[in-house]
Amino acid sequence: MNKEHLDDLISYLKFPSVSTDSQYKENVRECAEWLSDKINLVGLESSIYQTAGHPIVVGRNKHSSDKPTVMIYGHYDVQPADPIDLWESPPFEPLIKEGKIYARGSTDNKGQNLAHLLGLGETISESGELPVNIIYLVEGEEEIGSPNLEPFLLEHKDELKCDVVAVSDTGMIGPGIGTFTYGLRGVACMEVKVIGPSKDLHSGVFGGAVANPCAAMSKMIASLHDLEGRVRVEGFYDKVKEIEDWEKAEWSKIQVDENETLNLTGSPDLFGEVGYSDNERRWSRPTAEINGIGGGYQGEGSKTVIASESFVKLSFRLVPDQDPEEILNLVKSHLDDHKPPGVRVEYEMGHSGKAYLMDPQSGYGLAAQKALKTTFDSDPALIREGGSIPIVQSFKDILGVDTLLLGLALPDCQIHSPNENFSIENFYDGIRLNRNLINEIGSAF
Amino acid sequence: MNKEHLDDLISYLKFPSVSTDSQYKENVRECAEWLSDKINLVGLESSIYQTAGHPIVVGRNKHSSDKPTVMIYGHYDVQPADPIDLWESPPFEPLIKEGKIYARGSTDNKGQNLAHLLGLGETISESGELPVNIIYLVEGEEEIGSPNLEPFLLEHKDELKCDVVAVSDTGMIGPGIGTFTYGLRGVACMEVKVIGPSKDLHSGVFGGAVANPCAAMSKMIASLHDLEGRVRVEGFYDKVKEIEDWEKAEWSKIQVDENETLNLTGSPDLFGEVGYSDNERRWSRPTAEINGIGGGYQGEGSKTVIASESFVKLSFRLVPDQDPEEILNLVKSHLDDHKPPGVRVEYEMGHSGKAYLMDPQSGYGLAAQKALKTTFDSDPALIREGGSIPIVQSFKDILGVDTLLLGLALPDCQIHSPNENFSIENFYDGIRLNRNLINEIGSAF
C-alpha cells in the first residue's frame, strides 16, 4: 500500500467543492485544477473544459486504433455538508479513524474516482503504457444533476467516442464482496411553493378566515401516497417494468436482515410499498420523496402566525421505463387537482434523468465481472441500485455504449449524510480493480 | 396634542423587548426599568416585581376605600421582528410617516398601554388626584402566554383586589369607530416532532424502504381539517357555544366587504368553515392553525435526502366553553391515531388560555360604552375578537372581575407582521379614552 496515494486522497478531500451552493464556486474550480495537475502527474494528458457551470476535467493517454477505448467517469463535486452540527469531525478536514477516512465526498465520489486515476498511474509507471485507450472524465456538477455534461458529450462526441464507460459511484453489498450494478433508478425533482396571504398574518385575528399555506401544502403532500406506501399519482406506475424472476431470486439471496437495515438507518421501523421486499423497494420500485419542507415560524418558542407561504422540495426515484418529464407533469396535475381553496401554487422543475438498465451477460458485463472476481477473489453480486446517475443513460443515448458500474461504497459510508466516510481498504482495492479491469478489457477486445 | 407624549412613545418602542427569544432578556429588563421610571414621573408609585421569567411592573396611586378600584393591564413585551427583511424600516427604530408610527410593538401593546399611563398622568397633573383607585399593571410575557402572571395574581391577590380591569390590546373595526370587545378566543399551542431515521439518509439509496418524516407529518397535519374548513378532531366542537341571534345581527351590520379583507390580507381567496360569515369565523369559531413547519433540506437548489426529523408548531384558537387542556389532549389522540407507520412522534405542549366572554350590558360594560361614545362621538361597535388574551380569563377566575376591552388597534396595523404601526391619532384618542373611562367609573360607582 502506497502511502502517497492516501496523501493524495487527503489533499483532494480538503476542497469544499459543493456544486449546489454558489458561495463555493471558487472552491469547486480550485478542486478541478488540483485534479488536472494530478492527471498530468500520473502520466496522462489533462484538459480543463469550462462549461456554463463548473468545469469538466479530462485526462487521456495516446490513443491507438487497435485498442478498445474505455471512458472512466466520476465527479469531483460533493453534496452540501449540512446539518453541519451532526458531524463528529469537520467535513473538509479529512480524519482517518479505524480504517476509514471521514470527509464529505470521501466515498461520493472523490475516493472512488481517485482510485481509478491512481490505478492507471500504477500501470503506466510499471508498463510504460496502458492496454486500452483511456478517456478519464471527471465532472463538477453530478450532485446538481449534471446540467452541462450532456451538452459537453454532444459537442465533443467524436473525441469522446468509446466502447464502454466504467464508473465507480455505486455500492458494494458488504465489505470484500465485489458488486456489479447493472441498473439504477432515475430521478426527477421539483420545488413547489404554496402562497397565501401577502405577508405573515396574526393567527388569532385572521385564523379561520383565510387559508393557511402550511396546512394547504400538507394536504397536497399527504395526497401523494396511500397508507400502504404506494404513490397515488394517476398514471405514475403505468410504464413501470416489472422485476424479472431471476432478479427476484438473485436479490433474495443477498437480502440483508431487517434488523441490519434498521441499524443502518436508525429508523423506528421499515416502511414501504406493500408486496415488495426491501431490496425490490429500493432498487426497482419508483418513489415520491419529500426532501425538504418549510414555512412559517422556525425559531425558538411559539409565534402565532399564518405564514405567507410554504415550500416543499420533492424528488421522484424512477425505474425503467418511466419518463422523467412525463412523471413531473403527472405530479403537477395531481397536485393542482389536490390544491385546497384559498392558495396559489408555483412549480419549479429541477434536474431529472431516466433510470438505467444493461444486460450483465454482455461482453463488457462479463469482463467487469471477471475483474471483480480477480480483485475480491469471489463471485460478484449482481444488483441494481436505488440511487441515480442520470448521466449513465446519456452515455447510452449519446455515445451508444453501456456503463459498467463497479462501486466501492459500503452500506455504512453515510453518503449525503453527516460523517460520510470511505474504507481505506476499498480505496486500495479500487486501485487494483482499475488495473484488473483495463487488463481484462485490453485482453478480451 | 402634547409632543412630549410622542417622544415618550418613541423611547418606549426603541427597546427590542422580545420575550420569546432568550437573547433579548437584557433588553426586556431595560424596557421594564424605563417603564417603571415613567410611571413614577407621571405621579404614580412604581414597583418592579421579579418573576421566574421577565419582570412585572406595577404603578399605583394612593387608594381610598370610597373609590372603585380599576386595574389597567398591558404588556411591554413584543413579538419577534422576523421576517426582518420584509420591514421597510428597522423594527426598533420608530419611524413616523403619514400619521402612523412604525415599530414592532407600536400597536401591540406599547402604544396602547402608554396612552393609558399618559392619560392618568394628565388627570393627575390637572386635578392633583384620580377619581378611582388605580393599579396600572404591565407585564413582559404576554407574547409567550403570560406564564408568570397567574402565579403573580395568586401571590398578590389581596393587593390586586379590584372592581374591574381595563385593557387596550384589541381592535377597532375602523378609524374613529369606538369598539367595545366583550369576548376573545382562547388559545392552546403544541409543537410536534416526527422522528424517522437517526440521521438524514440518501433518498436514492433508502427511498421507498423507510418512512419519510416530512411525508408522515404532512399526513398527520392534513388529517386536521376536512375540505370545507372544519376541524376533524373528534370532540373538538363538543363544547362550542353557538353564536346568539343578537350577535349575528350586530356583526352582520359591521361585516366588511370581502374585497376589503382580501386587500388587508393579500390572500388569493377567503377560505374558512362553511356556514359562517367572515366575522363569525374569526370571532366565535375555533380553529386549528399551522404556525410553522420544517424538515429536511432548507438551502438553495436540491439535496436528495430523507430527513431524520420534521416539526410542526400548532395552535388552536378556542371559543367558549372549550377547555384548552382537553383540546390539546383530543388533538394529541387524533394525531396519534393518524400517525403513519415507520416514525415516532414527540409532543411538547405550549401555552394555553381559555376563551373569554362578558355581558356588555353590565354596569361596567355600560360605563365603558359611555366612555367610548364620549371619546369618539358615536355609538361604539359591540364585537368579539379572534385573538387571545388568556390573562383576561385569569382576571375573572382569580380576581373575580370582568375585563373591559377598549382596543385602539386598526385593521391595517400589522401586529405580529412586518411593518407594525400605530395611528398617532389613536394614541392621543387613547389618552382621552383613559380620562373619560376613569371619570365614568369614578362617577358611576
- Looking at the fold, whether A91 and A203 belong to one and the same domain comes out as no
- How far is the alpha carbon of A186 from chain B, nearest alpha carbon, in Å? 9
- Please report the pLDDT score of residue B390 as a whole number: 76
- Please report the pLDDT score of residue B301 as a whole number: 84
Residues of A in contact with B187 (CB under 8 A): 204, 304
Q: Is-contact B207 A187, C-beta < 8 A?
A: no
Cross-chain CB nearest to B212 (options A281, A289, A304): A289
Residues of B in contact with A285 (CB under 8 A): 208
- Looking at the fold, whether A190 and A322 belong to one and the same domain comes out as yes
Instruction: Please pick, among B8, B77, B163, B429, the residue that the annotation labels catalytic.
Output: B77
Three cell numbers at B261? 379583507
CB contact under 8 A, B215 and A298: no
CB contact under 8 A, B187 and A304: yes
* pLDDT at A1 > cutoff 80: no
* Measured distance CA(A286)–CA(A273) in Å, rounded: 10
Each residue of B87-140: pLDDT tens digit? 999 999 999 999 999 999 999 999 999 999 999 999 999 999 999 999 999 999
Residue A166 lies in a domain: yes
CB contact under 8 A, B214 and A293: yes
Three cell numbers at A80? 452540501
- Domain of residue B321, CATH code: 3.30.70.360
Mean pLDDT to the nearest integer, A237-257:
93
- Looking at the fold, whether B66 and B192 belong to one and the same domain comes out as no
Q: Which of A226, A409, A382, A384 is nearest to A318 (CA)?
A: A384
Residue B327 lies in a domain: yes
ipTM value > 0.85:
no
CB contact under 8 A, B83 and A200: yes
- Please report the pLDDT score of residue B61 as a whole number: 98
Each residue of A164-188: pLDDT tens digit? 999 999 999 999 999 999 999 999 9
CB contact under 8 A, A199 and B273: no
Rounded mean pLDDT of chain A?
A: 96
* Measured distance CA(A218)–CA(B312) in Å, rounded: 11
Q: Is-contact A396 A356, C-beta < 8 A?
A: yes
| Nearest-by-CA chain A residue for B269 | A342
- Looking at the fold, whether A328 and A384 belong to one and the same domain comes out as no
Residue B265 lies in a domain: no
Pairing of strands B403-405, B164-167: parallel
* Angle made by CA atoms A161, A164, A169, in degrees to the nearest 5: 115
| Nearest-by-CA chain A residue for B306 | A291
Partners of A181 in beta bridges: A383, A405
Q: Is-contact B180 B385, C-beta < 8 A?
A: no
- Looking at the fold, whether B324 and B310 belong to one and the same domain comes out as yes
Partners of B405 in beta bridges: B167, B181
* pLDDT at B226 > cutoff 90: yes
Each residue of A378-410: pLDDT tens digit? 999 999 999 888 789 889 999 999 999 999 999
* pLDDT at B65 > cutoff 90: yes
Mean pLDDT to the nearest integer, B379-383:
94
Residue A280 lies in a domain: no
Domain C-terminal end among A352, A378, A401: A352
Indicate if the alpha-carbon torsion angle A238, A244, A249, A253 is positive or negative: negative
Cross-chain CB nearest to B299 (options A82, A295, A419): A82
Between A353 and B339, whose confidence is greater?
A: B339
Q: What is the 3-state secondary structure (H, E, C) of chain A?
A: CCHHHHHHHHHHHCCCCECCCHHHHHHHHHHHHHHHHHHHHHCCEEEEECCCCCCEEEEECCCCCCCCEEEEEEECCECCCCCHHHCCCCCCCCEEECCEEECCCHHHHHHHHHHHHHHHHHHHHHHCCCCCEEEEEEECCHHHCCCCHHHHHHHCCCCCCCCEEEECCCECCCCCCCEEEEEECEEEEEEEEEECCCCCEECCCCECCECCHHHHHHHHHHCCECCCCCECCCCCCCCCCCCCHHHHHHHHHCCCCHHHHHHHHCCCCECCCCCCCHHHHHHHCCEEEEEEEEEECCCCCCCCEECCEEEEEEEEEECCCCCHHHHHHHHHHHHHHCCCCCCEEEEEEEEEECCEECCCCCHHHHHHHHHHHHHHCCCCEEEEECCCCHHHHHHHHHHCCCEEEECCECCCCCCCCCCCEEEHHHHHHHHHHHHHHHHHHHHHC
Residues of A in contact with B282 (CB under 8 A): 205-209
Indicate if the alpha-carbon torsion angle A435, A436, A440, A443 is positive or negative: positive
- Looking at the fold, whether A22 and A145 belong to one and the same domain comes out as yes
| Residue range(s) defining the domain that contains residue A233 | 186-240+286-352
- Please report the pLDDT score of residue B168 as a whole number: 97
Share of chain A above pLDDT 90, in %: 91
Q: What is the 3-state secondary structure (H, E, C) of B321-333?
A: CCCHHHHHHHHHH
Q: Is-contact A15 A31, C-beta < 8 A?
A: yes
- Looking at the fold, whether B22 and B132 belong to one and the same domain comes out as yes
- Please report the pLDDT score of residue B140 as a whole number: 98
R_g of chain B, CA atoms, integer Å:
23
CB contact under 8 A, A206 and B386: yes
| Nearest-by-CA chain A residue for B171 | A205
Each residue of B68-85: pLDDT tens digit? 999 999 999 999 998 899
Partners of B136 in beta bridges: B59, B72
Is B142 a catalytic site residue? yes
Three cell numbers at B273? 368553515
Instruction: Please pick, among A8, A141, A142, A440, the residue that the annotation labels catalytic.
Output: A142
- Please report the pLDDT score of residue B391 as a whole number: 86
- Looking at the fold, whether A410 and A333 belong to one and the same domain comes out as no
Residue A271 lies in a domain: no
- Looking at the fold, whether B74 and B106 belong to one and the same domain comes out as yes
- Please report the pLDDT score of residue B136 as a whole number: 98
Residue B255 lies in a domain: no
Domain C-terminal end among B333, B353, B373: B353
- Looking at the fold, whether A127 and A218 belong to one and the same domain comes out as no
- Please report the pLDDT score of residue A257 as a whole number: 86
Best residue in A82, A84, A185, A214 for a mutation probing chain B (most B CBs within 10 Å): A214
Instruction: Please pick, among B142, B169, B420, B429, the residue that the annotation labels catalytic.
Output: B142
- Looking at the fold, whether B126 and B201 belong to one and the same domain comes out as no
Partners of A46 in beta bridges: A59
Residue type, A192: V
Domain C-terminal end among B353, B375, B407: B353
* pLDDT at A252 > cutoff 90: yes
Residue B269 lies in a domain: no
- Please report the pLDDT score of residue A49 as a whole number: 98
Between A444 and A224, whose confidence is greater?
A: A224
* Angle made by CA atoms B138, B140, B142, in degrees to the nearest 5: 90
- Please report the pLDDT score of residue B145 as a whole number: 85
Is A142 a catalytic site residue? yes
Cross-chain CB nearest to B203 (options A203, A206, A289): A289
- How far is the alpha carbon of B69 from chain A, nearest alpha carbon, in Å? 30
Each residue of A195-217: pLDDT tens digit? 999 999 999 989 999 999 999 99
- What are the helix (H) ranges across B128-277? 149-155, 213-222, 245-253, 258-265
CB contact under 8 A, A203 and B317: yes
- Please report the pLDDT score of residue B148 as a whole number: 96
CB contact under 8 A, B199 and A344: no
- Residue B27's pLDDT band (boundaries 50, 70, 90)? very high
CB contact under 8 A, B204 and A291: no
Question: What domain count does chain A have?
Answer: 2
Partners of B44 in beta bridges: none
- Domain of residue A104, CATH code: 3.40.630.10
- Looking at the fold, whether A65 and A39 belong to one and the same domain comes out as yes
Quote the longest CA-to-CA distance of chain B: 80
Q: What is the pTM of this model?
A: 0.81
Residue B193 lies in a domain: yes
* Measured distance CA(B88)–CA(A54) in Å, rounded: 37
